[in-house]
Chain A
Amino acid sequence: MKKVSAAKSEVIRLRNVSKHYPMGDSVVKALRHLDFKVYEGEFIAIMGPSGSGKSTAMNLVGSLDVPTHGQVYLDDGDISELSESDLAQIRGKKIGFIFQSFNLIPNLTVKENVMLPMMFQGTSLEERSDKAEELLRLVELHDRMDHYPGEISGGQMQRVAIARSLANDPEVILADEPTGNLDTKTGAIVMEFLEKLNKQGKTVIMVTHDPDLAKEYADVVYWLLDGRLDKVTKRVGKKFIDVTKKKKKEAKSNGRR
């Protein structure tokens, strides 16, 4: 059922990426020497406990932030060479974000929230409206279109966020703890939608601290620990096998240099 193959094209690639944050006089090395490849149509999970650097990794993968060292390629283009505005435009077009805390804009209705990413891309009002209705029908919320985010449940809000992430028909859906604020049952519904999208060919990258969730849905799991890549596991049949050894050595040798 999974369709990972070498023939698939690379969507996102992080090459020896480090991210340092200045913290007073010292520097926090949130992420060190991370190598990371995402192929079209994959379901990737970035796993790790809090403080492991997975949020930083997500920001870099989502091109919300640029690395201190190393390169991030989005569709073969180095994002550090782009202006802030170009980056925002590319981000809006190629990546759809889903956040743990839904992050809908409270002053806008459900439909307007879904329309917003298209407005930033300069889509006409009519087209925006039609597309938003179509996407809300997809997540089965077309009857809540004119409600405000405060008037619907958490599970529904996350489904609106899924619809919003699809607005510009992006290649990649980036979900940061998508079920973190939801109970198990509604979380499962949200995950089902993500799985469905992945099966329709969308690349999904999910950040989570829940190993069960990662194992249940992902093809490849990147395990982070203390800002480093700890291991990479890949689904083969019903089991996951460790495919990290070579990379680990590389990382170590890089670290010694």
Chain B
Amino acid sequence: MKLDYLILALKNLKHRGIRSWLTLLGIFIGVTAVVALIGLGNGLQAAVGAQFGVSSTQALTVQAGGLNAFGPPGSGAVNKLTRDDSDAIGRLGTIEFATPRNLETAKIEYNDVVVFSMAVSVDDEMEREMYETMDLEADRGTMLLNDALGRIVIGDGLADGSKNGFDKDIMTGDNILVQDERFKVVGILKKKGSFMFDNIVLMYQDDLDDLFEVGDEVDVIGVKVKHPDLMDRAKEEIERLLRKRRDVKEGEEDFEVSTPDAILETVNSVLGRVKAFIVIIASISILVGALGIVNTMTTSVLERRKEIGIMKAIGGTNFQVFLQFFFESGMLGFVGGLVGIILGTLASVTGTLAINSFIGAELSPSVDFFLIGGALLGSFVVGAVAGIVPAMNAAKQNPVEALRG
């Protein structure tokens, strides 16, 4: 029976003027923001995870100065790690191997265009181990092996003429300038879906040292642990070793051993704060929308006094009149939510595609049906709650006075 009032409410909505729909702006902007954000947020999280190249359950990263959200990892530290640190870590019982690497921002010139990218060093004794921890593989050509100086391997994104900024594909065998020195491209990496890795330039340690004079210093030490179960123990061992070598007390470490999880957590907490902020904005917007509904329903009750009088004259009880306006208000919110969900989903799909083309990732937009259902129900409830007072006013009307209009 209650369904009858819902249908009646829908019929009345059909005849609403544009003014009523405009008051829904708040609701649908709020819902759009939430739906777009959550859809996009899940994609972003995956994207950022991929940026950090976190995949192995046996990989640890050691860097000086702690996690740094800005700039290449480890590059901002004062007291840098050294190659000896790396060797010492490699000799620990739980560790299979440790590979030192340097990261430098390099000026790259090709086709008379200059582009800046990240140069990463390859240690001449541990090439394969490093490729393994970083999960790198050649798509075309070969990887750097056997101390091949003057040669480089580049990421897929840097090779692709439509994305690299050089307006020209780089092929294996081409020569390009890195920091004004000529290098021959021998291999192109398999695409990883990560902006950082797909634009990387790999070169031997000696070449990087010539260009940037890094000496014995190391930015990052990539570590492979012997078994996934040993991750925590390995982390403790490395921390104990480095405290001793760098002469710092427990709790005052100027270095960080991070597991893939820890890196993701950092990313997630930043994203979480962004999300919380947008949710607050969206809540305010929905609140404004709800007030809009209160306003439009109050006006509507005034405008339709005569209709209320008719309903009462032909047998409508107070509760029946209340129900009709209550449902009408709820449906108003529901429609606002529906529009918001459609727009929000569109925005999250478009946003995901934009991220994909911008950083070369391959994210699929996430459509969460639980979220959609919740948003629809939520908007109905917001509308219905906003309509309670106006609907009560409608129900309270004296039939004789209401009939007078």
Contact = CB atoms under 8 A, between A and B. Distances in A.
A121 interface: yes
A107 B314 contact: no
Interface string B297-331: 00000000011011111111111100000000000
Interface in A201-238: none
A41 interface: no
A125 B317 contact: no
A63 to B, nearest CB: 9
Interface of A: 59, 62, 64-65, 84-85, 88-89, 91-93, 96-97, 99, 103-108, 112, 116-117, 119-122, 125, 164, 167-168
22 contacts: A62-B313, A64-B313, A88-B312, A88-B315, A88-B317, A88-B399, A89-B317, A92-B314, A93-B315, A96-B314, A97-B313, A97-B314, A99-B403, A103-B309, A105-B311, A106-B15, A106-B307, A107-B11, A108-B11, A117-B314, A120-B314, A120-B316
A151 to B, nearest CB: 13
Q: Give the top 7 A-B pairs by smallest Cβ distance, nearest first.
A: A92-B315, A85-B317, A120-B315, A117-B314, A107-B15, A88-B317, A103-B310
Interface in B367-405: 398-400, 403
Given A105-B307, A116-B314, A85 B319 contact: yes
Contacts of B14: 107
B399 A64 contact: yes
Contacts of A84: 317-318
A107 B12 contact: yes
A125 B4 contact: yes
Contacts of A62: 313
Nearest to B316: A120
B18 interface: no
A10 B352 CA distance: 77
A91 B399 CA distance: 12
Contacts of A119: 4, 8
Nearest to A93: B315
Interface residues of B, number: 25
A91 B315 contact: yes
A142 B313 CA distance: 24
B1 A122 contact: yes
Contact of B317 (A65, A104, A120, A164): A120
Nearest to A168: B315
Contacts of A88: 312, 315-318, 320, 399
B400 A121 contact: no
A203 to B, nearest CB: 17
Interface in B1-41: 1, 4, 8, 11-12, 14-15
Nearest to B320: A120
B395 to A, nearest CB: 9
B11 A121 contact: no
Mostly, the B contact residues are helix
A93 B314 CA distance: 8
Contacts of A59: 400
Given A88-B315, A117-B314, 12 more contacts: A65-B398, A89-B315, A97-B313, A97-B314, A103-B403, A106-B15, A107-B14, A107-B15, A108-B8, A112-B11, A116-B314, A120-B320
A85 B317 CA distance: 5
Contacts of A121: 315
Contacts of B306: 103
B5 to A, nearest CB: 8
Nearest to B12: A107
B333 to A, nearest CB: 19
Contacts of B307: 105-106
Given A108-B11, A119-B4, A64 B403 contact: yes
A105 B313 CA distance: 12
Nearest to A116: B314
Contact of A164 (B11, B12, B314, B399): B314
Contacts of B312: 64, 88
Interface in B309-365: 309-320
Contacts of B319: 85
Nearest to B402: A64
Most buried by B among A62, A103, A104, A168: A103
Most buried by A among B11, B315, B316: B315
Contacts of B309: 103
Nearest to A119: B4
Given A64-B400, A125-B4, A105 B316 contact: no
Contacts of A103: 306, 309-310, 313, 403
Contacts of B316: 88, 92, 120
A91 B318 contact: no
B310 A105 contact: yes
A178 to B, nearest CB: 14
A117 B315 contact: yes
B329 to A, nearest CB: 16
A88 B398 CA distance: 11
Nearest to A124: B1
Contacts of A92: 314-316
